[in-house]
Amino acid sequence: MAEFKMPSLGADMEAGTLLEWKVAPGDIVKRGDIIAVVDTEKAAIEVESFHAGVVDSLVVEQGTKVPVGTTLAVIRGEGEPAGAPASPPQAAAPPSANGPTSTPAPPAPLRRPRISPAARRRARELGVDAAQITGSGERNAVTLADVERAASARAADATKPSPAPEHPPPEAPPPEPPPVDRKAEVMRAMGAAMAKSKREIPHYYLSNTIDLEPAIAFLAAENAARPIERRIVPGVLLLKATALALRAIPELNGFFEGGTVRHAEAVHLGTAVSLRGGGIVAPAIHHAGELPLEDLMWRLNDVVRRARTRRLKSSELSDSTATVTSLGDRGSEAVYGVIYPPQVALIGFGRISERPWVYAGQVVSRPLVVASLSADHRASDGHRGAAFLRILEDKLKEPESL
Amino acid sequence: MTVARTPDEVRAKIADILRRTVPGAQVEGLDPKADLRDELDMDSLDVLNFATALSHELEVSVPESDYSELMTLERCTAYVLSK
């Protein structure tokens, strides 16, 4: 038996609301399948399963807000007997000292009947409680016909006067996200993570001004030959070069947790996306260093769109090994970012702009960008940090290699 | 070439594309001379997606060097009509 718990989708998350179950007891799930949608301050997140097996029971009702770590569902491995009581679902570990979080006692597991997705949908439409139906299908599964029958029986009942309802109230439809001041919540969550970062992480900062003339010329030539929907923005070159440089300096790619540094094997680049109306999320682009520019462009566009329409996957919020913030063409000249714990580095790019630059002994106008590194002094030092920025610059001077 | 278009039709179409490519954009009441990137908080991806939709739906080809011509409602309308 494996317990599927409310995941921590970032250092700033303390609790989440289970918005919607995407599975029901009896469903077979693979690792990576979306099994629930969880609402956090920042987004509705599609949460993926870490386990393969059969959904045994759903522990938390839709619409319930629970602390990180609370058991949401029990998944049994293939071949394990149904309903074998594993360790009883536990409520979360005590919430962090950062703030008061109520820890509700976990409700009893909801043993739902086997039911097909179509029948479940119909039951929801008709307001019929599927748990009250005796199934006529294979292994007592509740079928569409069973649901229809139960609904008409109830309708017949309803014409008779009855002093008290015999049945428990029908299953509620999936609830809407609770009405909250989203902007205030985002600011509060971001503030908590950044306060933790500045309290605990000994930041050091380095920056280099990089001449992007070769990179911009390379892109202009590339894009001129491409149809408009396949054009690439300069930010994609910055991301790719960063991922390659991180691969060369592993001290900057990973985590500081429990007093030790853990280097990550792959480079999953968190990409800061500003949300309209306020706040930032930094979903991961997995294996960013291995993607051809065109694929990286597609992934960036996809992840930004989903971040802004509040549809990210849990792995995208928890897997980043370092983060990039790129201010774009309307931003400031330079940014010295705050590291997102437990990561150990944040790479910042200011606005790309034409400025004077000495090239071949002459002062000329070139497109320049200030690249900065904010890094955790417990995981690296300025010597390695400088090496990182030098490699980054070298990569951007040879855009054909990206 | 494409069908004849009036400035009003083009303006309406541009507003429609902005609404779709920049989710949550308040297009009504925009100053026709104001920079869309500032008014609607558009980043370079938004600009590219806007230019892409404009190019497909209004049948104008937009080279990368012309993106800046699209960045106010007034100039964008004139750009489309000039094509």
Q: Does B37 touch chain A (CB under 8 A)?
A: yes
Right CATH for A2-159 from 3.40.50.970, 3.30.70.260, 2.60.120.260, 2.40.50.100: 2.40.50.100
Q: Does A300 touch chain B (CB under 8 A)?
A: yes
* Domain assignment present for B50: yes
* Domain assignment present for B26: yes
> Does residue A103 surpass a pLDDT of 50?
no
* Domain assignment present for B1: no
DSSP A4-28: EE----STT--EEEEEEES--TT-E
> CB–CB of A228 and B43 under 8 A?
no
Report the pLDDT value the prediction gives residue A276, as an integer from 0 to 100: 78
Q: Tokens standing for A173?
A: 């439809």
| Tens-place pLDDT, residues A37-81 | 888 776 778 888 888 889 998 999 988 898 888 999 998 887 776
Residue with tokens 């997995």: A286
Task: Give the number of other Cβ atoms within 10 Å of residue A368's Cβ.
Answer: 19
Report the pLDDT value the prediction gives residue B71, as an integer from 0 to 100: 94
Strand partners, A348: A325, A372
| pLDDT confidence bin for A118, thresholds 50/70/90 | low
A300 vs B1, more confident = A300
**Closest approach of B44 to chain A, Cα-based (Å):** 7
CA distance A296 to A276: 23
| Tens-place pLDDT, residues A141-160 | 666 777 677 766 665 554 44
> CB–CB of B64 and A234 under 8 A?
no
Q: How many domains does one find in chain B? A: 1
Report the pLDDT value the prediction gives residue A154, as an integer from 0 to 100: 64
> CB–CB of A328 and B49 under 8 A?
no
Q: What is the rounded average pLDDT of the residues B16-36?
A: 89
In the 8-state DSSP scheme, what is residue A140? G
Percentages of chain A per state (helix, strand, coil), in multiples of 5: 30, 25, 45
* Domain assignment present for B73: yes
**Peptide bond preceding A170 in cis form (omega within 30 of 0):** no
Range with top average pLDDT, A62-66, A101-105, A277-281, A379-383: A379-383
Q: Does A311 touch chain B (CB under 8 A)?
A: no
Report the pLDDT value the prediction gives residue A131, as an integer from 0 to 100: 67
Chain A residues touching B23 at Cβ < 8 A: 276, 308-309
Whole domain around residue B31: which residue ranges? 7-82
* Three-point CA angle B43, B49, B53, nearest 5°: 145
* Domain assignment present for B54: yes
> Does residue A129 surpass a pLDDT of 80?
no
ipTM of the complex: 0.85
* Domain assignment present for B15: yes
DSSP chain B: ------HHHHHHHHHHHHHHHSTT---TT--TTS-HHHHTT--HHHHHHHHHHHHHHTT----GGGGGGGSSHHHHHHHHHH-
Chain B residues touching A229 at Cβ < 8 A: 52, 56
> Between B7-21 and B44-57, two packed helices, what is the crossing angle to 10 degrees?
140
| pLDDT confidence bin for A90, thresholds 50/70/90 | very low
Report the pLDDT value the prediction gives residue A264, as an integer from 0 to 100: 96
Q: CB–CB of A230/B64 below 8 Å? A: no
Q: Does B29 touch chain A (CB under 8 A)?
A: no
Q: Does B48 touch chain A (CB under 8 A)?
A: yes
* Domain assignment present for B2: no
B74: domain CATH number is 1.10.1200.10
Chain B residues touching A301 at Cβ < 8 A: 45, 49
> Does residue A106 surpass a pLDDT of 50?
no
CATH 3.30.559.10 is held by the domain A183-401 = yes
Q: CB–CB of B37/A330 below 8 Å? A: yes
Q: Which of B41, B55, B65 is opposite residue A228, by nearest beta carbon?
A: B55
Q: Indicate the burial class of A332 (C-beta count within 10 angstroms; 0-12, 13-18, 19 or more).
A: exposed
| Tens-place pLDDT, residues A233-271 | 999 999 999 999 999 999 999 999 999 999 999 999 999
Strand partners, A2: A75
> Does residue A355 surpass a pLDDT of 50?
yes
Q: Which of A229, A309, A330 is opposite residue B52, by nearest beta carbon?
A: A229
Report the pLDDT value the prediction gives residue A235, as an integer from 0 to 100: 96
| Tens-place pLDDT, residues A329-348 | 888 999 999 999 999 999 99
Q: Give the best residue of A239, A273, A274, A276 to mutate against chain B (max B CB count within 10 A).
A: A276
> Does residue A107 surpass a pLDDT of 50?
no
**Closest approach of A328 to chain B, Cα-based (Å):** 7
> Does residue A27 surpass a pLDDT of 70?
yes
Chain A residues touching B61 at Cβ < 8 A: 228
Q: What is the rounded average pLDDT of the residues A15-27?
A: 89
Q: Where are the alpha helices (DSSP H) in A169-233?
A: 182-200, 213-224
Report the pLDDT value the prediction gives residue A189, as an integer from 0 to 100: 81
What share of chain B in percent tops pLDDT 70? 95
Q: Does B66 touch chain A (CB under 8 A)?
A: no
* Domain assignment present for B20: yes
User: Domain residues of chain A, as ranges?
Assistant: 2-159, 183-401
> CB–CB of B24 and A224 under 8 A?
no
The dihedral region occupied by A259, where left means phi > 0, alpha psi between -120 and 50, and beta the remainder, is left
CA distance A171 to B47: 45
